[in-house]
Amino acid sequence: MDYREEYRRRCVEADEAVKVVASGDVVDYGFFNGKPVVCDLALARRADELRNVSIYTAVSVPPIPAVINYPESFIYMDWHWSKLTRIMHQQVAPAYYSPIQYHRAPAYYREQETSRHYRSWDYDRNDLKRRRKWIAICQVAPMDSHGYFNLGPQTSAASATIEAADIVILEVNPNQPVCLGGGEESIHISRVDHIVEAPEDQVLFDAPVATPNETDRKVARQIMEHIHDGCCIQLGIGGMPSAVGEMIAESDLKHLGGHTEMFVDAYVNMIESGRMDGSHKTIDRHRCAYTFAIGSQRMYDFMNNNPALAAYNVDYTNDPRIISRNDNMISICNAVQVDLLSQVNAENMAGSQISGNGGMWDFVLGATWSKGGKSFICLSSTFTDAAGTVHSRILPRFPEGTAVTIPRQMADYIVTEYGAARMTACPTWMRAEKLIQIAHPDFRDDLIKEAEKMKIWRRSNKR
């Protein structure tokens, strides 16, 4: 069947497509590099005539969404929290964080938990009452000969979002890579109401690859001692994961696998070096499974039509039960702070949201359920504030208002540049002792004093 006529019938200008949005509606922007650009600008041009339109996205990436400039018209919400979201929240207009269990994101749509809540919240202005519409807008790759639009490197919950939506608008970006997958990585034209074509120069966010510093490398060396042939690796973004990827690529490790939430440049290095071939994986053999990707243009080029990778819905990649089916699963996540009870904060500082919980909970649990698996939560022992004062990231107690991302009973390994301390099944005094041993030496005596006050320190262990 030739779908070109159907394509032409549904193809409209962005300003025409967004006329379907009314005050009080919910608009779900695509996640990551699936966030619309042309349609976002068109929607912002309607700011004067719209009020209380809810905008949902996840991990806002450049360019800055135009709707954030009109807080009276649009309520901007992020399922995660990126650096750009933080900047917008601090400098432009309020943005709101929506904590979720990421592996359940498709279920929130399919089971109508989210949409039912908002659809039942009637917009009431000038005695007008009506049912709110749910509108999905996301970027996709150009349609293929079978009438399918590939979602690019952000499968995540997109298909479920489209299923739940009243109206679907696709923004076709010729620069989206075609990412092969394990299911629901493409959308058929029959599920689409409007198609908007983006300009040829609309590129994906080319994220700079983090350069590891010496502390990152020291933390990475601690983790490398636990990685052996045949392990399955989950990494995030940042200097320390980049260091792990570099070290693996330069090592003599063999037959590693990849199963991750986020595909990053470090995986390109591991795969191209021959260290990660997936041949010993328990599931998805010979393929690295992921649900979204943010990285360099080199990485996007590597992903295009690459059968070594498999894009899945997040309810597959991040389901702890699926993760645990990978034997020798190694999960590596970053944290902001850890307290002496071994509670982990990976998302806020001084009351300000700086990240989101994302899939950390999913992978910590999945890795510890895995046969031979290990979870590593990593952080530098200190940080320096804007005034030049050095602070310990290992604290006696969290400040009021701090979010606990990982509860203490779930913590497996906590890693700093001073060591990797295993928390699993340890009593409180042992957790405190192990954490103090990997804290910066300048803070250890004060931490011991606080641990004594908290009655989680055995004096016989004081060196």
Catalytic residues: 261
Yes or no: say if 88 and 64 are a contact pair by the CB < 8 Å rule. yes
Entry field: residues in the chain: 463
Q: Which residue is associated with the tokens 């990707």?
A: 293
Q: Which residue is associated with the tokens 């510890």?
A: 368
Reference 215, options 435, 416, 390; nearest CA is: 416
Return the sign of the alpha-carbon dihedral for residues 453, 458, 460, 462: negative
Three-state DSSP string of the chain: CCCHHHHHHHECCHHHHHHHCCCCCEEEECCHHHCCCHHHHHHHCCHHHCCCEEEEECCCCCCCCHHHHCCCCEEEEECCCCHHHHHHHHHCCCEEECCCCHHHHHHHHHCCHHHHHHHCCCCCECCECCCCCEEEEEEECCCCCCCEEECCCECECHHHHHHHCCEEEEEECCCCCCCCECCCCEEEHHHCCEEEECCCCCCCCECCCCCCCHHHHHHHHHHHCCCCCCCEEECCCCHHHHHHHHHHHCCCCCCEEEECCEECHHHHHHHHCCCECCCCCCCCCCCEEECEECECHHHHHHHCCCCCEEECEHHHHCCHHHHCCCCCEEEEEECCEEECCCCEECCEECCEECCCCCCHHHHHHHHHHCCCCEEEEECCCEEECCCCCEEECEECCCCCCCCCCECHHHCCEEEECCEEEECCCCCHHHHHHHHHHCCCHHHHHHHHHHHHHCCCCCHHHCC
Q: In what order do the strands lie in the sheet with 232-234?
A: 257-258, 232-234, 329-334, 374-378, 413-416, 419-422
CB-facing half-sphere around the CA of 323: CA atoms within 13 A:
30
What is the C-alpha to C-alpha distance for residues 3 and 278, in angstroms, rounded to an integer? 37
